[in-house]
Amino acid sequence: MGEWRFAVNGEAVEVEAPGMRRLLDILREDLGLTGTKEGCGEGECGACTVLVDGAPVDSCLVPVCQVEGARIATVEGLATTSSEGPVLDRLQEAFLEMGGAQCGICTPGMLMAARSYLDSGGGPDEVAIREAIAGNLCRCTGYTKIVEAIAVAAGGPG
Amino acid sequence: MPRMTIRTPPGRTLTPVAPRRTETDPLVLQPGTIAPGRARPAAPLRREGPAKLTGEAKYADDLVFPGAWYGATIRSTDAHARFDGIDLDPALDWSAIAVVTAADIPGENIVSLVSDDQPVLVPVGGEIQHQAEPLVLLAAADRETLRHARRGVTIRSTPLSPVFDPRLSDHVFAHFDIASGDLERGFAEADLVIEGEYRVGHQEQLYIENNAMIAVPREDGGVAVHGSLQCPYYIHKALKRALRLTDEQARVVQAETGGGFGGKEEYPSIIALHAALLARKTGKPVRMIYDRHEDLSATTKRHPAIVSHRTGVKADGTLVAQEIDVVMDGGAYCTLTPVVLSRGAIHAGGPYRCPNVRIRARATRTNTPPNGAFRGFGAPQVEFAAEVQIGRIADALGMSPLDIRRRNLYRVGDETPTGQVLRESVAAEEVLERAAEAAEFEGVRTRTERARARRAGSGSVPGSPLRTGADRTASGIGLALAWHGAGFTGSGEVKLASVASVELGADGRIRVLTASTEMGQGTKTIFPQLVAAELGVAVDDVDIAPQDTALVPDSGPTVASRTAMVVGGLLIKAARRLREVVEERNGGRPFADVHRADAAAHGPTRIDQQFEPYPHVHFDDETYRGDAYPAFGWAACVVSVSVDLDSGEVTVRDVVAADDVGRVIHPVLAEGQVEGGTLQAIGYATIEEIKLRDGRYLNDRLATYIIPTSLDAPRITTLLVEAPFSGAPHGAKGVGELPMDVGAPAVVAAIRDATGVWIHELPASPERILAALGVTAEPPGQAPAADTVRAALDEPIEAGTDPRPDAPTDPQPMRGPRDPGEPS
Ligand code: FES
Ligand code: FES
């Protein structure tokens, strides 16, 4: 057992857990943030993608001891809240409009990978977008509408 | 005869259709604006989209049930054996662990489905039929204890001899024989007879959310299960039988479902039964959440198939005889195999008119995990074979792939092998022409053909006839055409007698009640859309009731692309009746104006609409004659590839898909279905393969079972075509499965165009391509050389004197003219 301190979506958290406990389980089970999904548990599908200090990682492969002091961003932190409920960010909105989410199970990971791409200055170029999400499997969409949505969020014409 | 209306007529003079929205800012789709090429105003946004995009949506594993235990399944490791007993490690404290065997099943030890052959758990003394067969269930309060418990169970068994070759199995799950015309006469009339054998292997649905089910004991002695599933009432029935429960005691609630594609059609029943048995034993909620490895190794896959064709054609390309033999591998239990096979048999000839046909299809048992439903449901296997066969015929005749299809494709008034006259809604020509035009098929093909001719024989690299020092890759373009029967086969829909309901609540809101599940395809968006349109109210005034058997009627399973067509049709009719009732009560004033006041005055009004047979649609299950489907959907696909001639690797670069869905309800969702289905078909064609050893899947992890990533995926251009079906009030025929039927043969045709060789077995892996090119030896397990082209000609064919221009490079030898002593 150890005590780990880090920030999730801008809020400081402190958890007591074995150092090898997966970040994915810490988020989902200890912190109740079930937006992050598990599709394979071995780094192949990207459904568990979160950002650690801005970089996308497969949270199923990251032990909690490695995120001590880090800033973690999950899908729950993308939208902002208003008196009328959550307000989607531009990327989420683009996914909604363009049809980037079907069954939605890959979506949280996909959004985080895309967020990181956009935050690091990625533009609406199709090839670059495809590379940025190459670690995130989607079985529903054929990726076309996901790529379009990210391009729109990046300021492209769609 | 109702005249077909095609709303997007083919026009060779039209510029290629722009499938993309052209608004400057696609985020601002004004309501009421008509998008180019679209027939409808801008459709509503995905209903549950915001929940999915914010992480709010609760999938099964996200649900919290305080005090829940964790369940696990102990499976066989024998492919075929007698189950002699279980030993529990005496060193372990078993008081904290629940152990369930077949002896704990209160009702029938049967997973209720088509046939009653599959046990919930194999009883001691019973026969184990496959390597992943469930034998014992365990549950514990925490994962650590469960892990130890799993290691403490030893299975004793006596091996029996297994069967792995479906052709050698004498246990037949189903067989169908479809015949029309006079086959002998047909072959006698033929100028050319071509044979071919085609094979396809397993394919995994690979929904990104693994199977998951949580059972919660009820106070009345029953159980509620919450899970990832397609068909709540299948599970409901299975629970009632095996656990001996009443309708009320068994409750099934769908959690948000992360993809299904058929893989959550029947398998969830067995998981629900397992979780429910453990919940019953422990008195606690029990979570049965599969990990990817268990999901891959135990759950159903697409049926492998071996399809043989013998086709007679006239010199001008007209089909005169088709003799087709289909063998499907059902795996260890029947599951839905007869229904899959039936669809496969009916679609086996492809979307082509032929007066003399004989189709024989059978599915047998092997000692491998049971195969089941997967998008396309028997059609992708046989349509791959039919399309490669027609492509090879075109080659043999020196015809273009487009022309041979134009000559034979179904048109209104044609009759199918079951004797079904296609009275309306036939868009084979439309989708073919639209796809070919948009992809500039003939122009590109002329160029690739020239390139191939230029390079042939100039190969400076030994063993590779097309490889030149300068050019390592070859490009090609391929085309395929498919049909897909809309809804259930034969009298399935009539027997099912589904019910869907629309209710005007006391609060003035409108509620849709169906058991049709959302798993990404858009059910929750299009149902309110259809009902709102019928009632003249805003989409947001229509709610959708949760898929919970305690609340909603049995609108049938969410399969067979039937949701939009059948259940959507029921809802429109229910809404129509509701509007009439309310308007009549209110002096004929429009529903939209009076429904709130009506609800306040009269309380809730609910209309239950039961399925009524479509007029003029009759099918005889005994003779297998008649209208196999109320209508067919039609799809064409043009694919361009490049093939690396050194590695045999295929890159699919561009796809144009034209799909006739009857009526487009929601363009974005419909395109999404086409794009997703197309990529699954490309995966099937190129990289998805299950390898087996002794009846066990070898690549049962996501690291080894590969599906396309965003980098593997081509740009997909979707053309939606509308040839409405008059039997459905909205004309829709469904969209989910169509694209799955047509992608793989288009890829294989493109590989042929690039390299000159036909691949007869899916996936068209690098090994198979290199072997076909003659660079390497045939890979092990390759289909035996069973192909022949027999030119039964007295005179050589006019156009292209050699009827076998590709004979030297076809991987399977072609012979002709017919040897005198050869059996015909
Ligand atoms: S769950 Fe982490 S990559 Fe699949
Ligand atoms: S939307 Fe279903 S896996 Fe991507």
Q: Round to whole Å and give the CA distance between B279 and B18.
A: 55
Domain end marker among A74, A101, A120: A74
Q: Round to whole Å and give the CA distance between B764 and B176.
A: 29
The answer to whether residue A28 is domain-embedded is yes
Are B799 and B192 in contact, with CB atoms under 8 Å apart?
no
The answer to whether residue A45 is domain-embedded is yes
Residues A59 and A115 both lie in one domain? no
Q: Which of B86, B125, B130, B85 is nearest to B109 (CA)?
A: B125
Q: Round to whole Å and give the CA distance between B544 and B632.
A: 29
Per DSSP, A142 falls in state -
Q: What is the pLDDT of residue B725?
A: 96
* Residue-wise pLDDT tens digits, B567-606: 999 999 999 999 999 999 999 999 999 999 999 999 999 9
Pocket mutation for ligand 1, best pick of A40, A57, A110, A138 (most atoms within 8 Å of C-beta) = A40
Indicate the average pLDDT of chain A: 96
Rounded to 10 deg, the angle between the B667-686 and B738-755 helix axes is: 50
* Cα distances (angstroms) measured from residue B127 to each of B76, B109, B161, B810: 11, 13, 12, 45
Contacts of B710 in chain A (CB under 8 A): 129-131, 133-134, 136, 138, 143, 146-147
Q: What is the pLDDT of residue A158?
A: 52
Look up residue A106 and give its two tokens: 């890959």
Residues A70 and A7 both lie in one domain? yes
Q: Please, which residues have CB within 8 angstroms of residue B606's CB and are 6 or more apart in sequence?
A: B501, B502, B503, B504, B513
B519 contact A CB<8A: yes
Average pLDDT over residues B631-635: 98
- Residue A138: which domain range? 83-153
- Whole-angstrom Cα Rg for chain B: 27
Where does B314-366 show beta strands of DSSP type E?
Answer: 319-329, 357-364
**Helix (H) / strand (E) containing A82:** strand A80-82
The answer to whether residue A25 is domain-embedded is yes
Count CA atoms within 13 Å of residue B210 on its CB side.
25
- B655 pairs with which residues across the strands? B639, B716
Backbone angles phi, psi at B392, to 5 degrees: -70, -35
The angle subtended at Cα B722 by Cα B735 and Cα B615, nearest 5°, is: 80
Q: Which of residues 305 through 364 in chain B touch A, CB cutoff 8 A?
A: none
Q: Which of residues 675 through 704 in chain B touch A, CB cutoff 8 A?
A: 675-680, 701-703
* Residue-wise pLDDT tens digits, B634-682: 999 999 999 999 999 999 999 999 999 999 999 999 999 999 999 999 9
Look up residue B510 and give its two tokens: 């409108």
Residue B15 has pLDDT above 80, yes or no: no
Residue A41 has pLDDT above 50, yes or no: yes
Look up residue B599 and give its two tokens: 């609800």
Q: What is the pLDDT of residue B779?
A: 56
Domain end marker among A74, A94, A127: A74
Strands B473-485 and B632-644: antiparallel
Give the lowest-confidence range in A68-72, B32-36, B123-127, B401-405.
B32-36
Report whether residue A40 contacts ligand 1, using a CB cutoff of 6 Å: yes
**Where are the alpha helices (H) located in B316-362, listed in sequence order?**
337-347
Domain end marker among A56, A74, A92: A74
Q: How far is B225 from chain A (nearest CA, A)?
A: 20
Q: What is the pLDDT of residue B211?
A: 98
Q: Which of residues 261 through 300 in chain B touch A, CB cutoff 8 A?
A: 261, 291-292
- Percent of chain A as helix, strand, coil, to the nearest 5: 35, 20, 45
Residues A145 and A89 both lie in one domain? yes
pLDDT band at B560 (very low <50, low <70, confident <90, very high): confident
- A12 pairs with which residues across the strands? A7
Q: What is the pLDDT of residue A156?
A: 78
Question: Which residue type sits at B707?
Answer: I
The answer to whether residue A122 is domain-embedded is yes
Query: Mapping DSSP to helix (H, G, I), strand (E, B) and coil, where does residue B579 land?
Result: helix
Average pLDDT over residues B803-814: 33
**Where are the alpha helices (H) located in B497-613, listed in sequence order?**
523-535, 562, 568-585, 591-602
Average pLDDT over residues B807-816: 32
The fraction of chain A above a pLDDT of 70, given in percent, is 99
The answer to whether residue A12 is domain-embedded is yes
Q: What is the pLDDT of residue B455?
A: 82
State the ipTM, two decimals.
Answer: 0.98
Backbone angles phi, psi at B87, to 5 degrees: -115, 130
Residues A54 and A105 both lie in one domain? no
Q: What is the pLDDT of residue B778?
A: 58
The answer to whether residue A30 is domain-embedded is yes
The answer to whether residue A123 is domain-embedded is yes
Residues A108 and A54 both lie in one domain? no
Count of helix runs (H) and strand runs (E) in chain B: 19, 28
Buried b (16+ CB within 10 A) or exposed e, B400-429: bbbebbbbbbbebebebbbbbebbbbbbbb
Q: How far apart are the first and last CA of chain B?
A: 41
Domains annotated for chain B, with CATH where assigned, are 62-162+211-289 (3.90.1170.50), 173-203+301-488+627-794 (3.30.365.10), 498-610 (3.30.365.10)
Report whether residue A140 contacts ligand 2, using a CB cutoff of 6 Å: yes
Question: What phi-psi label fits residue B167: left (phi over 0), alpha (psi between -120 and 50 degrees) or beta?
Answer: alpha
Residues A37 and A93 both lie in one domain? no
Contacts of B520 in chain A (CB under 8 A): 102-104, 140
CATH code of residue A131: 1.10.150.120
Contacts of B258 in chain A (CB under 8 A): 37, 103-106
Residue B10 has pLDDT above 90, yes or no: no
pLDDT band at B470 (very low <50, low <70, confident <90, very high): confident
CATH code of residue A50: 3.10.20.30
Pocket mutation for ligand 2, best pick of A38, A96, A98, A103 (most atoms within 8 Å of C-beta) = A103
Look up residue B668 and give its two tokens: 């974005």
Residues A112 and A142 both lie in one domain? yes
Q: Round to whole Å and give the CA distance between B576 and B112.
A: 36
- B358 pairs with which residues across the strands? B179, B323
Give the lowest-confidence range in A77-86, B483-492, B666-675.
A77-86
Residues A66 and A94 both lie in one domain? no
* Residue-wise pLDDT tens digits, B186-241: 999 999 999 999 999 999 999 999 999 999 999 999 999 999 999 999 999 999 99
Look up residue B281 and give its two tokens: 């034993």
Indicate the average pLDDT of chain B: 90
Report whether residue A136 contacts ligand 2, using a CB cutoff of 6 Å: no
Q: Please, which residues have CB within 8 angstroms of residue B386's CB and are 6 or more apart in sequence?
A: B307, B309, B324, B347, B348, B349, B350, B352, B745
pLDDT band at B811 (very low <50, low <70, confident <90, very high): very low
Give the lowest-confidence range in A78-87, B272-281, B389-398, B668-677.
A78-87
pLDDT band at B462 (very low <50, low <70, confident <90, very high): low
Query: Per the structure, how many domains does chain A have?
Result: 2
Are A77 and A54 in contact, with CB atoms under 8 Å apart?
no
pLDDT band at B461 (very low <50, low <70, confident <90, very high): low
* Residue-wise pLDDT tens digits, B356-369: 999 999 999 999 99
* Cα distances (angstroms) measured from residue B101 to each of B75, B123, B138, B335, B535: 12, 7, 9, 22, 53
Q: Round to whole Å and give the CA distance between B631 and B566.
A: 12
**Helix (H) / strand (E) containing B155:** strand B153-159
> How far is the centre of ligand 1, averaged over its atoms, from the C-alpha of A107 (Å)?
13
Q: What is the DSSP string of B720-736?
A: EE----TTSTT-----S
Residues A88 and A67 both lie in one domain? no
Give the lowest-confidence range in A147-156, B9-18, B258-267.
B9-18
Residue B351 has pLDDT above 70, yes or no: yes
B123 contact A CB<8A: no
Contacts of A35 in chain B (CB under 8 A): 54-56
* Residue-wise pLDDT tens digits, B148-170: 999 999 999 999 999 999 999 99
Residue A83 has pLDDT above 90, yes or no: no
Look up residue B622 and give its two tokens: 């005994």
Q: What is the pLDDT of residue B471?
A: 83
Q: What is the pLDDT of residue B26?
A: 33
CA–chain centroid gap for B224, Å, is 29
The answer to whether residue A158 is domain-embedded is no
Q: Which of B225, B227, B232 is nearest to B212 (CA)?
A: B227
Residues A68 and A88 both lie in one domain? no
Nearest residue (CA) to ligand 1, atom 3: A43
